[in-house]
Structures are given as C-alpha cells and as structure tokens.
C-alpha cells in the first residue's frame, strides 16, 4: 500500500511539505496504514514525501535569458524609449538590455528601443523627439577604466516637460556590472512611478537536478545565481531575514528535517530547531530575533516560536490539527498560518504570541502558503480550484479574492519589498519556471534561473544602508 500512496502523490511533488502533510492526512483515514519504513528508504524513494510520511505517521517513521515574455490584461503602460549605451560592448554586458528587461518585468512600462546615438552627456532635441511620440528617454555609456573597472553612466529625460530627471555614475568591477544595471532600473522606476524600485534586491529558491538539491541566491530577475548550499538530501522553505543577511531553511542532511540559519555573507550557519520529530516551515519575526516554526515534538504539528540563538521553544497553537506555514504581518503583531483544524487546509490569523484564531479563507476547500504584502493590506496564497493550484490574492479589507495566474501548478508566492510584484514557482509551457506577476494588472513574466525542478522562491528585503 505504501507504493500506491507514493504513486498517487508523486505527480503532486511540487507542493510544499506542509501541503503534502495536509494532503496525506486527508487521505489517511480512507487508506490502510502502511508498514513501517526507515527514513533512509523513504527519502530515497521520494525525497520530500519521506518527511511528509514521517510527520503524518509519527512513531512509524522517523546564461542570462534577457528576452522577456509578458502576458496579462491590456493596461496603460508608462512609455520609455532607450538606446544602447555608448561603448557597452566593451564590458561584455549589455547594460541597456538588462535595464530594459528589468522594467518590462515590472509590468508598468512600454519599452521601445531607438537607434539614436545619444549618451548621458547629450541634451535631447525635445521638440523633435516629442514629434516622434516619445515621452521619456534614457541614455548612457560604459567606459573602461585603467584599473580594470568600468564607469557606467546614464541620464533620464522627461521629454514632455523638457526636463532632466537626473542620472548617476557607478565605477564597478566586471562582476558588478549587472548590479549597476539593476541600480539604473531602480532609479528609473522610482522617478517614473514614485515607488522605490526592487531590481537590486535578491531572491532565494531551491532546485532539484538529478540527485542534488541546491539553494540558490540570485538577482531579482533570477540570474547571477550563486549556490549557498548543495546537498543530496532535500532543502526546503528558504526564508530571508529582515536585514537580508541570513536565510533560514530546512535541511534533511541528517535524515530528518532540521531548521538552520545561514549567514549568506560568510557561509556560516547554525541549527535553530532540531527537536524530536519534524522541524519545518521557518518564518522570521520582523525584529529578526525569533523564528516561528512548525514542530511535531509533542506528537502533532503545531506552531512554536524559537529564539534565533536556538533554545527553548514557546508553543503558539493548541489545535488537534496540523498548523504550519506561518508568516508574520509586517508590524509583527499577528501571524497568518495554514491549518486543517476545520477539516481541510485553510488560512487562519492569530496574535503573534498565540491566542484566539480567526479563519481568513472560505472560498474553496484547499488554501495554503500565505504571504502578506509589505503594507499589510493584501494576502497572496495558493488555492486549489477544480483540481488546479493557482495563485490568488485577497484584499484583507474587503476580503475580495481573485486569481492572478493562468498556470495550474503554482506554489509559494512571495511579495517584492515594495509590494508591487509577486514571485512564485510553477510549471509553464511544460517547463519548471520562476514567475513574476504584477497583482494590479496580472501582467506576468518568466524569470531566468537554474535548470531543474524549481521550488519555493522567497524575495529578500531591501539592503540595509552601510
């Protein structure tokens, strides 16, 4: 019977550990209980599903893609014209192309390339360009320096107002050229929208390629990925610290799920939760001093808070169901989480230190993976509707919910730090994909990223000033 359970669940292996636990628990009453399995055998058969069975059965188990494909509703976009930056081929990176791709992914701009030969030192002929139905224009240059670095410069113009909107210059090493392009994108985005840009931030995600799992830290476009951890055992649930210096995640390298905190600068890490049973689903409190985690040490899967330094865990929930996937509100006053206490997985809210719970989702019988927008007004989550797993958002004031994606195997949404974009993992056109969507207009783009089974992205915060 164990083999049949694995065959039944294997096609669903994109879903989070929490979702798998809840799904198997729902199946369990109608199925004969499987014979005891060793952790090693289970994990070798189906990595994450092995831990799932352990949580449910308790004692029985111990190069850059710069083409941007955009889909979405017809909307009014901010027009922006760009020409290639002068001498950018000398750097081996097309800075202007990276900037254009960034802004197109934001879902708020209509980008047009021009054949003009202007750079940041050239004052445009405003009347002539307005006659060509151009409203905003950016140009720049990339100049090699004697010390091996490059001087990257740009300037942005409002052609309708005949106004210089400013620019900047960055002296960067070859390894920081992409970062300078993202900084230019941030400048342009903020000037033309009034909202801080997010292109210089980072994301984390996990891939499984053949027998290896990799935790990647990448630019916000999915490119320039660097491996923070590689393991033949599963890695799940990466979560950025509020200061962007650390990642919490779950690793199975000791043949059981253990919560680690990993300094992304030094590579050093330490164990935060390694209690009896399963330790999973870490989420940072906004103060950066504690984690909310799911522990099964007391016989069921419940929420606890654990100090960053490790040590005594404080129980937050007291239900007979599975409580998991916590996420804090931006002000740290409350936690959204998933529970099947009512019979099916739904999203609930409670005070951050425990207490009375309030059910949040009522449409559909399977809602998981909550993520709260930085302003606290919107909830993103995954809802199963008609057998399809789709990204939804809910206005927490009106309680109105809507689907954002046209894909059917979505998982784990995460908001950009300005709240204007959401990243999630899915399958699109038969391929694993990282996707980015603008919740205001549903315009979605596929990001770059490493090959393999892509899972559980999480968007990092703005970098703290030095």
Beta strands in 99-144 (DSSP E): 109-114, 136-144
Domains of the chain plus CATH, in order, are 2-60 (no CATH), 70-193 (3.40.50.10070), 202-459 (2.120.10.30)
User: What is the residue-averaged pLDDT of the chain?
Assistant: 85
Check residue 13 and give its pLDDT.
35
Give residue 282's pLDDT: 98
* Dihedrals phi, psi of 13, to nearest 5 degrees: -75, 10
- 0.75 exceeded by pTM: yes
Percent pLDDT > 70 in the chain is 83
Alpha-carbon distances, residue 396 vs 345, 372, 378 (angstroms): 19, 10, 5
Element (H, E) at 106: none
What pLDDT is recorded for position 75? 63
Residue 322's H or E segment, with its range, is none
Instruction: Check if the beta carbon of residue 165 is closer than 8 Å to that of residue 187.
Output: no
Using alpha carbons only, give the angle 417, 421, 425 rounded to the nearest 5 degrees: 105
> For residue range 191-224, what is the model confidence (pLDDT) as tens digits?
999 999 999 999 999 999 989 999 999 999 999 9
pLDDT at 16: 46
- Give me the residues paired with residue 291 across strands: 284, 306
pLDDT at 379: 98
Whether the CB-CB separation of 16 and 368 falls below 8 Å is answered with yes
Q: What is the predicted pLDDT for the residue at 448?
A: 82
pLDDT at 22: 46
pLDDT below 50 — which residues of the chain? 1-16, 18-70
Q: pLDDT value at position 54?
A: 36
- DSSP symbols for 148-171: S-EEEEEEEEETTTTEEEEEEEEE
pLDDT computed for residue 466 by the predictor: 60
């Amino acid at each position: 019977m164990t083999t049949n359970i694995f065959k039944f669940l294997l096609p669903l292996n994109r879903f989070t550990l929490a979702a798998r636990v809840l799904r198997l628990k729902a199946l369990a009453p109608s199925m004969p209980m499987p014979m005891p399995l060793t952790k090693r055998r289970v994990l070798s058969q189906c990595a994450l599903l092995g831990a799932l069975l352990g949580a449910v059965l308790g004692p029985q188990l111990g190069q850059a893609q710069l083409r941007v494909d955009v889909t979405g509703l017809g909307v009014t976009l901010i027009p922006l014209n760009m020409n290639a930056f002068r001498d950018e081929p000398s750097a081996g990176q097309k800075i202007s192309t990276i900037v254009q791709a960034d802004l197109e992914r934001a879902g708020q701009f209509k980008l047009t390339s021009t054949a003009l030969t202007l750079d940041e030192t050239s004052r445009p002929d405003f009347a002539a360009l307005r006659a060509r139905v151009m409203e905003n224009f950016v140009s720049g240059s990339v100049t090699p320096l004697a010390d091996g670095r490059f001087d990257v410069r740009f300037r942005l113009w409002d052609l309708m107002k005949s106004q210089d909107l400013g620019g900047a210059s960055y002296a960067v090493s070859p390894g920081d050229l992409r970062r300078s392009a993202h900084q230019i994108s941030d400048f342009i985005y903020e000037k033309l929208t009034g909202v801080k840009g997010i292109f210089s931030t980072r994301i984390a995600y996990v891939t499984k390629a053949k027998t290896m799992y990799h935790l990647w830290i990448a630019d916000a476009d999915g490119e320039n990925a660097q491996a923070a951890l590689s393991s033949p055992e599963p890695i799940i649930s990466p979560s950025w610290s509020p200061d962007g210096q650390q990642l919490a995640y779950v690793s199975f390298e000791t043949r059981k799920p253990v919560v680690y905190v990993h300094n992304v600068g030094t590579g050093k890490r330490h164990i935060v939760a390694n209690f009896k049973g399963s330790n999973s689903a870490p989420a940072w409190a906004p103060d950066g001093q504690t984690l909310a985690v799911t522990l099964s040490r007391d016989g069921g899967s419940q929420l606890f808070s654990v100090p960053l330094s490790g040590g005594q865990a404080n129980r937050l929930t007291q239900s007979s169901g599975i409580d998991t996937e916590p996420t804090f509100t931006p002000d740290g006053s409350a936690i959204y989480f998933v529970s099947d206490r009512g019979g099916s997985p739904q999203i609930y809210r409670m005070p951050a230190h425990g207490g009375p719970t309030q059910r949040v989702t009522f449409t559909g019988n399977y809602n998981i993976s909550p993520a709260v927008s930085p302003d606290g007004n919107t909830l993103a989550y995954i809802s199963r509707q008609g057998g399809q797993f789709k990204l939804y958002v809910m206005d927490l004031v009106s309680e109105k919910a809507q689907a954002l994606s046209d894909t059917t195997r979505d998982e784990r949404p995460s908001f950009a730090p300005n709240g204007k974009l959401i990243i999630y993992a899915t399958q699109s056109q038969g391929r694993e994909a990282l996707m980015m969507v603008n919740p205001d207009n549903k315009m979605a783009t596929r990001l770059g990223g490493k090959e393999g089974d892509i899972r559980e992205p999480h968007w990092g915060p703005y970098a703290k000033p030095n």
